Amino acid sequence: MSQVGRSRIHYTKPSITALEIGYATDAAANGWGEHCYDYIQRFEWMFREHLGAKHSIATSSGTGALHLGMAGLGIGAGDEVVLGDINWIASAAPIVHLGATPVLVDVLPDTWCLDPQRVEAAITPRTKAIMAVHLYGNLCDMDALQAISDKHGVALIEDAAEALGSVWHGRRAGALGRFGAFSFHGTKTITTGEGGIFVTDDADLYERVLTLSNHGRARGETRQFWPSTVGFKYKMSNVQAAIGCGQMERIDELVAGKRHVFERYREALVDLPLALNPEPPGTTNGFWMPTMVADAGSAFDRDALLAAFQADNIDGRVFFWPLSTLPMFEARPDNVVANALCARAINLPSYHDLSDTEIQRVCAQVIGQFGRGT
């Protein structure tokens, strides 16, 4: 069917109400001078309360939160950080910026997250950290990774940018490692437009990162404009934080909306030869991005589905490419799971107010690509 007259189905968009608009308006009108950090401090408090973390620092991006956290751990030239080969570049870029080396290992075929056995094999004397990236809301095996971390004396850190609402055996994603980083980009479950947050229970690490986040000026320094080290400028703005406060007041509603969308997909696609985001026993998946991976050998053509989506005015989004296939990284043909995933996978539209009728429209195109017609 031609897309003429068909409403656009976006792959994602934020849920913004009068609440967020009111807070942002107040911040723009009144959040200056002595009030310039009011919403930032409130947002940081709300987020760490939700997560169950002791310390938080709002940042300009999730990438910035990762950069700050790894810098606070002293990661630098000659060091290595192990992470999964299937990831967005934002997870690896701060490692490179610090002069360290991303070590890209294969992923598990069911969660698409780090394979603990491959992590164990990749540990060297230069390894400083394991980065657990909770892909599309799916959770890494944090127990297995923590055991490896403890055995080798390396930090376990979390990129939880896509995992708001995900829970590992009673503890929220992002609050399990040495530190966690979240993103509030406009595509995420909650948004501040751009933005992120660093969270940790480690008081010493928090103080180091807090200093680095403010151009290297330590808290309690009595001399004005006196940095003790060269730091960064990754602050979130008060207006962004105001939007975030509204989003945090609605966090349960927003996570529930994501889970509702995923459940409708699961019901509609249950009989097809494909896998969707898993939710192992004892865990909760926030289902940030419902993702389908066609079974190996099935009659599925990703590019044909993307073309069908385009013809029906539906946004399509490809699965992340293996980082090792990008020109700036070394090829890893031995990462056989990662290298086989992207051609068989696609992200499905998932914004909060996606209607059941729109979900059925998306599913009709998916079903059609498996030869069952519509």
- The Cα–Cα gap between 314 and 370 comes to 18
Residues near 301 by Cβ (< 8 Å), separated by ≥ 6?
369
Tell me whether residue 1 is in a domain.
no
Mean pLDDT (the chain, rounded): 96
| Co-location of 177 and 291 in the same domain | no
Helix (H, G, I), strand (E, B) or coil at 56: strand
249, 280, 300 - which closes a domain: 249
Tell me the mean pLDDT in the region 69-98: 98
pLDDT band of residue 1 (cuts 50, 70, 90) is very low
| pLDDT for the residue numbered 372 | 54
Q: Is the pLDDT of residue 277 over 80?
A: yes
Indicate whether 202 and 257 sit together in one domain.
no
Q: Please report which confidence band the pLDDT of residue 6 belongs to, taking 50, 70 and 90 as the band edges.
A: confident
Structural domain contains residue 4: no
Is the residue at 301 inside a domain? yes
CATH of the domain at 232: 3.40.640.10
List the one residue out of 100, 96, 176 whose CA is nearest residue 133: 176
pLDDT in tens, 306-325: 999 999 999 999 999 999 99
51 and 158, same domain (yes or no): yes
**The 345-347 sheet, strands edge to edge:** 274-276, 291-294, 345-347, 317-318
pLDDT in tens, 25-60: 999 999 999 999 999 999 999 999 999 999 999 999
Q: Which domain holds residue 296?
A: 251-369
> Is there a single domain that holds both residue 228 and residue 266?
no
Last residue within a domain, chosen from 222, 249, 276: 249
Question: Would you say residue 8 lies in a domain?
Answer: no
Assign 327 a pLDDT band (cuts: 50, 70, 90): very high
Question: Is residue 193, in this structure, part of any structural domain at all?
Answer: yes
pTM of the entire predicted model: 0.95
* CATH number of the domain that residue 256 is part of: 3.90.1150.10
Q: Are residues 203 and 352 in the same domain?
A: no
pLDDT in tens, 181-192: 999 999 999 999
Between CA 292 and CA 266 the distance in angstroms is: 10
Tell me if 11 is assigned to some domain: no
Domain membership of residue 363 (yes or no) is yes
**How many distinct structural domains can be found in the chain?**
2
Task: Point out the domain boundary residue: 232, 249, 266.
Answer: 249
Q: What gap in Å lies between CA 159 and CA 179, rounded to an integer?
A: 9
In this prediction, residue 299 carries a pLDDT of 87
181 and 261 both lie in a single domain: no
Asked if residue 164 belongs to a domain, the reply is yes
Whether residues 183 and 285 fall in one domain: no
**Confidence label for 374 from pLDDT (cuts 50, 70 and 90):** very low
Same domain? 186 vs 225: yes
Same-domain pairing of 25 and 96 = yes
197 and 67 share a domain? yes
- The pLDDT tens digits of the residues spanning 105-128 come to 999 999 999 999 999 999 999 999
> 339 by DSSP, 3-state: which?
helix
How confident is the model over 76-81, as a mean pLDDT?
98
Share of the chain above pLDDT 90, in %: 96
**Average pLDDT of span 216-235:** 94
